[in-house]
Structure 1
Amino acid sequence: MKMKTIILLLHLLQIILYVANFTMAEPIYSEIFRCKKDSGTYQPNSLYNTNLESALKSLPALNSKSIGVKPNQVTAVALCAGYLNPQDCKSCVDKTIPLLLQKCPNQKGAAAWRMKCMVKYGEYAVNNYDVWFVANEVSGTKTKDVVGLQNALSSLGETLLLGLYKEQPTGYGFNNQRYGSQTLYMVMQCTGDILPNDCTKCLHHISGEIKRCCSGAIAAAILTPNCYMRYAHSDFRVL
């Protein structure tokens, strides 16, 4: 009797640990900074520096702001997750800007992704599509239903892409889908400074990256300067 009880308790503990790992692994990325090395540098107190500070101060009230003329033109862009309220968006962007400037001092081009917002800047004009980096963050926890997850990712990804193309070509899409006993949540979003066709191109690109980097992972994110995609098995909008 005691042996059966011990075996039952061990089995129950295994289930609890599996569920805990499954859940705790979901928040996968927090801070990603990229300095665009080929963009060159600027001098402190220069006109570029002044224009950069002015452009950044306009965020996130404006999604993008261009100031100046070449060679001192600066465009700054902010993107908040589409489910974020304005107050939390402003807080995220305000905290990200000084961190990005600190990580990429005097760099003319840079980008930062934090949990729920992105900030980038450079000497380019609006409608500039340039995937100069691709970052992926992948949960170390794997699903037991790899085929089911892959099918759900493909189906849900196609649904979001079609919706974004038809209704909000440079916007935000979120949805979920059941497969087996699980629910998959996914978000796709583009920055507001690129054209609709470039948004679609960017999202198709990162959809391919998901297949290459993240097989079986219960949560992952693909982040670029122009768009991102994230999926998980919990509703990250409420985290």
Structure 2
Amino acid sequence: MPSSGSFIFLFLFSFLTIASAQVPTYVYHNCPNSTTFTRNSTYFTNLRSLFSTLSSRNASYSTGFQSTTSGQSPERVTGLFLCRGDVSPEVCRSCVSFSVNETLNRCPNEREVTLCYDECMLRYSHRNILSTVTTDGGIILYNTQNVTSNQQDKFRDLVFSTLNQAANEASNNSRKFDVQTANFTAFQSLYGLVQCTPDLTRQDCSRCLL
């Protein structure tokens, strides 16, 4: 997941994994250095305040999403976290706390940062990133197990139909999250998961997922 304003998770599983309250599984980070800050700046003070809010005991781990701002323009910081919709509040909290502690190691002085784990995503920026769809950037994770050549068309059709159904369901519920399961063969199942940040409108979530 990229440098995008309001974020989407799109995962396709060959099997369903259940997250546990351990060190989160790193996926990627993005921190372009076009705009930076120094450690004695007002921006850094505001960023630390934002981190404190997002990782506090009172944060919205039960819903898996929270956004907040800290400071005044032009040093205002806007940030959010989004936990995967099928993890527990405890796993969500653990992942967010880990992300907050890790982000300055991976992105020590950039004003715009996205840090993604399998269980959660943390993002902050000097720009307004809330309720905004941006589809720039991205990452594709490949499963090295291939479908046999005589089943590729069947698999492709099943992926499209399953994820389209998930996208429709997600865009029409308040959590902006959905999972779907479909039978590929008598012994193999396909699992799909899609997620938008809940601050997106139904139309924006649907447009981005589709």
The TM-score, its normalising length taken from structure 2, stands at: 0.77
Whose radius of gyration is greater, 1 or 2?
1
Please name the residue that 1:150 is paired with.
Answer: 156
Report deviation, 1:193: 4.0
Contact 2:168 2:206 in 1 (8 A): no
Aligned-pair identity (%): 24
Pick one of 134, 137, 162 that aligns with 1:133: 137
Q: Give distance in 2, aligned partners of 1:30 and 1:88.
A: 14
Q: Give distance in 2, aligned partners of 1:121 and 1:129.
A: 15
Report deviation, 1:57: 1.7
Contact 1:33 1:112 in 2 (8 A): yes
Please name the residue that 2:182 is paired with.
Answer: 177
Structure 1 gaps of 5+ residues are 1-21, 205-239
Contact 2:171 2:177 in 1 (8 A): no
Compared with structure 1, are the counterparts of its residues 194 and 43 closer, same or farther at alpha carbon in structure 2 (3 Å cutoff)?
Answer: farther
Structure 2 gaps of 5+ residues are 1-13, 20-24, 61-65
Please name the residue that 1:113 is paired with.
Answer: 116
Q: Which amino acid aligns with 2:90?
A: Q
Compared with structure 1, are the counterparts of its residues 57 and 131 closer, same or farther at alpha carbon in structure 2 (3 Å cutoff)?
Answer: farther
The TM-score, its normalising length taken from structure 1, stands at: 0.68
Alignment of 1:25-44 (within 5 A): 30-38=26-34, 40-44=35-39
Q: Which amino acid aligns with 1:71?
A: P
Pick one of 86, 99, 104 that aligns with 1:101: 104
Report deviation, 1:141: 1.3
* Bigger RCO (CA 8 Å, 6+ sep): 2
Please name the residue that 1:45 is paired with.
Answer: 40
The answer to whether the aligner puts 1:199 opposite 2:205 as a matched pair is yes
Report deviation, 1:83: 0.8
Q: Which amino acid aligns with 1:187?
A: L
Q: Give distance in 2, aligned partners of 1:93 and 1:70.
A: 26
Please name the residue that 1:188 is paired with.
Answer: 194
Contact 1:51 1:74 in 2 (8 A): yes
Compared with structure 1, are the counterparts of its residues 194 and 42 closer, same or farther at alpha carbon in structure 2 (3 Å cutoff)?
Answer: farther
Report deviation, 1:74: 0.7
Report deviation, 1:158: 1.3
Q: Which amino acid aligns with 1:91?
A: S
Does the residue aligned with 2:158 lie in a helix, a strand or coil?
helix
Q: Give distance in 1, aligned partners of 2:141 and 2:40.
A: 36
Report deviation, 1:113: 1.0
Q: Give distance in 1, aligned partners of 2:40 and 2:193.
A: 40
Q: Which amino acid aligns with 1:195?
A: T
